[in-house]
Structure 1
């Protein structure tokens, strides 16, 4: 009951905080499973596993979390298992054997567990070297006859600390563990088997995540994706960024001069668009009198109808909306999303009944019931309207930046067209290699 409640609350809250997208098979999660993934966003990463399956999952988490207020209580209620890391408790590392035994026993009983083999959350541009714990747990359970499968899960965040940004959860190809046991007998062979399985886990996670040599390359692949998607008439998607990242590494290795020319051109185009706060899609817009009039009428209606509710929302929620941001401002980047999410959830659970009680006391039971039912939708509308206002302001800015500057717009269109053609040629050159299983795992 406790697990179902926490899973439902966290899943709903995550879908409100992020725009969660799940790619890959969300079925076939029966039997003994280990979910493994990259770890860029602290407690948000394991929480997103709740969205994948209704199965009861046993989480492995670093031991200091069990001593934190509320979080520790929740982890214990979920029957999570503590992992003692060298950087936390050098003298308690021997206790990990008990954790590994418990994890193996869970798999032998046919249960599912989740762990993050990098051993820590981080904001590096690529997957870190994996610890061997996942492989050792899986192989140990397989030796006891459990048909263990390892499910790689990739987490890609548009902006991991920003409300309503995209969070992509991609499920990779399941790894059957039993075949790795063939020929594993002596100690040396055991170590080799662990190494091979760990390398396979790493390769599968890399195949479903974005891995870069440096963060400076991220604006390049994002611009490449926007130009390519626009030319293909498709929506921009985080799921294709991993192909651009792998293609960037191949391209840079095989054709360095051509790569530097393209990098320079993309960054120049990116900077020029940033100066006028525009996107490739904005540059392609054609403004016609009828379309502009429809835009003005539509958005005036939205503003006139929504502004009073939005102002009411600002009065009621202005303070709680600022609390998560202030609480997270001194946190490390990989922890900011977790801090904002947890603080926002805690504030909501206090502010909602607080407003209900205040309206009941100042008005009547009718006002109290109205607040109880009306506060959640008003809070969500206020956030929606603030986002809508940002989009509206962006459209107005672009209109005045490009609407009457035909020469600038024509130059940007020509450069964008030339770049998108070059990117399309590159995509055709490298597509087969990037989409093949060997390229994904290599």
Structure 2
């Protein structure tokens, strides 16, 4: 059966509907952006970043117009039921020496890929070879290039290599949002013609040709997928993109579309270090002001436009006053655990040791203290009082943390506003900081 006939079979249509249903069920929104149409009717090798493990394949099976055959590590077939599922959807196993502690051959895998690409076929590979926890692309391996060049050498003409960037809002959360950025396809025949002398035989064993194509795939994938220095930079560039785009919306108080934001953030990630640092610094300054008054850019932007900034500050003051009784009780109950955690923070140990010790000390200190309070409440007033104490103790702690954080941020903002030689009001300062973010983003 040809690839075209397979894609039109009842089984194939059923598989596509199953994965489309799963995708719609698991994710609140899946936005696909393709500046040019995804190729159809020609052999297609899809290359995607690998941030979400199995979720990556599930998503792409649910949104690509033609269901691809997935190239996956053969160890997956060892999982009960999963192996049968992989066979059912037409996945192609790849053998890695590290999975078998011995040399392995992928001749069968390459042959399967060549066959799948023949007759306008369609396959999917994750060329990094591993699932990434960092917001950046790992070193792209040569497997995708070897498959494409090998298939061409075996007579498959017109192969298109399509980079797919998967951007998760939160890859661990259900009903979150996903943006799939489809990059500009690479025409393999054109690349070979440009990079290789006409008389040269180009096969999968031609190291120079494989390395050159791998470099092309690496560049294309980094343009389509998230590729940030670290999570801090990723968050700040995404925030800066949202702030800059909000002024272009019909309703600036509404949420900036997830895909639009990530496309701009991805573009910002390609800027030189100095420009990225400028954007991140301006976002951090503006965000500290937003945190100080407990609001968001969407709300503040609307209030700055309508003159409601003073109402925002007054409302935050009212909230602070209402919290005071809870704060007083929270401090009285939790003063000893607070001091213990503070003392641990002063220990001269490595940051990794702090990250281990502090949560343990905090859990023990607060747990023991709360246990004593609940026990005393039960002894004095009965089980009902113990239940009330059990519910209220976390509320008192949250009130203290919220109040202290907000008070510290507002005090910092007040000192900056009252700095000598600065005649601006705080509302003018925060509006200026927002403008600085927009200019840093759009001026880059």
Interval of TM-score (by shorter of Structure 1 and Structure 2): 0.5 to 0.7
| Other structure's SS at 1:91 match | coil
| Other structure's SS at 2:104 match | helix
**1:22-55: CA deviations, max 9, x gaps?**
1114543222111111110011112222233343
**1:338-362: CA deviations, max 9, x gaps?**
xxxxxxxxxxxxxxxxxxxxxxxxx
Structure of higher CA gyration radius: 2
Q: Indicate if the aligned counterparts of 1:37 and 1:205 stay in contact, CA closer than 8 A.
A: yes
1:417 to 428, 431, 441: 431
Task: State the match for 1:74 in structure 2.
Answer: 85
| Other structure's SS at 2:443 match | helix
Task: State the match for 1:209 in structure 2.
Answer: 225
Q: Residues 63 and 411 of structure 1: is their aligned pair in 2 closer, same or farther, counting only changes over 3 Å? A: farther
Residue 29 of structure 1 pairs with residue 40 of structure 2: yes
Q: CA RMSD in A?
A: 3.3
Residue 237 of structure 1 pairs with residue 250 of structure 2: no
Q: Indicate if the aligned counterparts of 1:225 and 1:236 stay in contact, CA closer than 8 A.
A: no
1:227 to 225, 243, 261: 243
Residue 97 of structure 1 pairs with residue 107 of structure 2: yes
Number of aligned residue pairs: 312
Q: Residues 266 and 181 of structure 1: is their aligned pair in 2 closer, same or farther, counting only changes over 3 Å? A: closer
Residue 155 of structure 1 pairs with residue 166 of structure 2: yes
| Other structure's SS at 2:165 match | strand
| Other structure's SS at 1:127 match | coil
Task: State the match for 2:117 in structure 1.
Answer: 107
Residue 426 of structure 1 pairs with residue 434 of structure 2: no
Q: Residues 171 and 188 of structure 1: is their aligned pair in 2 closer, same or farther, counting only changes over 3 Å? A: closer
Q: Which moved more, 1:243-252 or 1:29-38?
A: 243-252
Q: Indicate if the aligned counterparts of 2:16 and 2:67 stay in contact, CA closer than 8 A.
A: no
Q: Residues 189 and 208 of structure 1: is their aligned pair in 2 closer, same or farther, counting only changes over 3 Å? A: same
Residue 63 of structure 1 pairs with residue 83 of structure 2: no
| Other structure's SS at 1:125 match | coil
Q: Residues 427 and 219 of structure 1: is their aligned pair in 2 closer, same or farther, counting only changes over 3 Å? A: closer
1:241-390 correspondence to structure 2 within 5 Å: 241-247=262-268, 250-253=271-274, 259=277, 263-274=280-291, 278-286=295-303
Q: How far apart are residue 413 of structure 1 and its match? A: 5.0
Q: TM-score, normalised by structure 2?
A: 0.62
- Unmatched tracts of structure 2, length 5 or more: 1-9, 251-255, 312-401, 415-423
Q: Residues 186 and 135 of structure 1: is their aligned pair in 2 closer, same or farther, counting only changes over 3 Å? A: closer
Q: Indicate if the aligned counterparts of 2:70 and 2:92 stay in contact, CA closer than 8 A.
A: yes
Q: CA–CA distance in 2 between the matches of 1:236 and 1:223?
A: 12
Q: How far apart are residue 199 of structure 1 and its match? A: 0.9
Q: How far apart are residue 188 of structure 1 and its match? A: 11
- Unmatched tracts of structure 1, length 5 or more: 293-396, 431-442
Task: State the match for 2:345 in structure 1.
Answer: none
Q: CA–CA distance in 2 between the matches of 1:38 and 1:116?
A: 6
Task: State the match for 1:366 in structure 2.
Answer: none
Task: State the match for 2:18 in structure 1.
Answer: 9
Q: TM-score, normalised by structure 1?
A: 0.63
Q: CA–CA distance in 1 between the matches of 2:107 and 2:38?
A: 32
Q: Which moved more, 1:28-37 or 1:5-14?
A: 5-14
Q: How far apart are residue 135 of structure 1 and its match? A: 0.7
1:118 to 128, 137, 144: 128
Q: Residues 32 and 411 of structure 1: is their aligned pair in 2 closer, same or farther, counting only changes over 3 Å? A: farther
| Other structure's SS at 2:71 match | strand
Q: Residues 266 and 88 of structure 1: is their aligned pair in 2 closer, same or farther, counting only changes over 3 Å? A: same
Q: Indicate if the aligned counterparts of 1:125 and 1:214 stay in contact, CA closer than 8 A.
A: yes
**1:98-142: CA deviations, max 9, x gaps?**
101210122133311111100111111211111111111111111
| Other structure's SS at 2:51 match | coil
Q: CA–CA distance in 2 between the matches of 1:237 and 1:78?
A: 30
| Other structure's SS at 2:99 match | coil
Task: State the match for 2:385 in structure 1.
Answer: none
Q: Which moved more, 1:125-134 or 1:42-51?
A: 42-51
Q: CA–CA distance in 1 between the matches of 2:160 and 2:13?
A: 24
Q: How far apart are residue 14 of structure 1 and its match? A: 1.3
| Other structure's SS at 2:175 match | coil
